[in-house]
């Protein structure tokens, strides 16, 4: 096994072996901290890079007069959340519990592509 002298002579030790254990831990901490600061710089650069696409999307939303994100397309009252009458207790018919709040907890339905197509609207949550 190469001793410290060998490593230093070979330039492989990078001088780290000359440091005490505490100093090496501190150096590792500083490296992690620099990476931590790097996340802020990376976020800034990535946001700048995405600015073109973001501006295009913002213009598209404005041109098409879009009011909502296409995140929850499973039901008409969740697709355009800001336009839906969420103040109504039951969305589909009296007694029909609206299922939006549970949408985050229930997994997507396992759909069989060969199964007969259902004609009932808004039944995508049923398993």
Partner 1 sequence: MPPHPWLQRQRYLVDFTVGALGRRKGRNLALVAVYALIVFVLASVLLFSQALRHEAATLLSGAPEVTVQRLVAGRHDLIPGTYLERLGKVRGVTDARGRLWGYYYDPVVAANYTLLVSPDDPPPAGKIRVGSTLATTRGLGVGDVLSLRGHDGQPYAFTVDATLSPDSALLTADLILVNEQDFRAFFGIPTGLYTDLILTVPNPREVTKVAEKVLRALPDTRPIVREEILRTYAALFDWREGMVMVLLSGAVLAFIIFAWDKASGLSAEERREIGVLKAIGWETSDVMAMKLWEGLLISVFAFLLGYLAAYVHVFGLAAALFGPVLKGWSVLYPDFQLSPHVEAFQVFTLFFLTVFPYALATVVPVWRAAIADPDAVMRL
Angstrom CA distances, 17 to 25, 60, 122, stand at 12, 58, 66
CA angle 81/51/57 to nearest 5° reads 35
Two tokens at 30?
A: 């500083």
Name which of residues 66 to 125 contact partner 1 (CB under 8 A): 66-76, 79-85, 88, 103-105, 107-109, 111, 117-119, 121-124
Which residues neighbour 24 within 8 Å (Cβ) at sequence distance 6 or greater? 16
- Binding to partner 1 (CB under 8 A) within 11-70 occurs at 20-23, 25-26, 28-29, 32-33, 35-36, 39-40, 42-43, 46-47, 49-50, 53-54, 56-70
DSSP 8-state assignment for residue 116:
P
Binding site for partner 1 (CB under 8 A): 20-23, 25-26, 28-29, 32-33, 35-36, 39-40, 42-43, 46-47, 49-50, 53-54, 56-76, 79-85, 88, 103-105, 107-109, 111, 117-119, 121-124
């Amino acid at each position: 096994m190469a001793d410290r002298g060998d490593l230093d002579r070979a330039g492989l030790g990078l001088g780290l072996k000359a440091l005490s254990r505490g100093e090496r831990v501190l150096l590792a901490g500083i490296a992690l901290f620099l990476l931590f600061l790097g996340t802020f710089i990376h976020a800034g650069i990535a946001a700048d890079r995405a600015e073109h696409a973001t501006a295009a999307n913002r213009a598209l939303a404005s041109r098409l007069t879009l009011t909502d994100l296409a995140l929850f397309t499973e039901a008409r009252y969740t697709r355009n959340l800001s336009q839906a009458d969420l103040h109504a207790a039951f969305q589909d018919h009296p007694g029909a519990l609206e299922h939006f709040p549970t949408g985050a907890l229930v997994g997507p339905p396992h759909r069989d592509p060969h199964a007969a197509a259902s004609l009932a609207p808004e039944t995508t949550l049923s398993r």
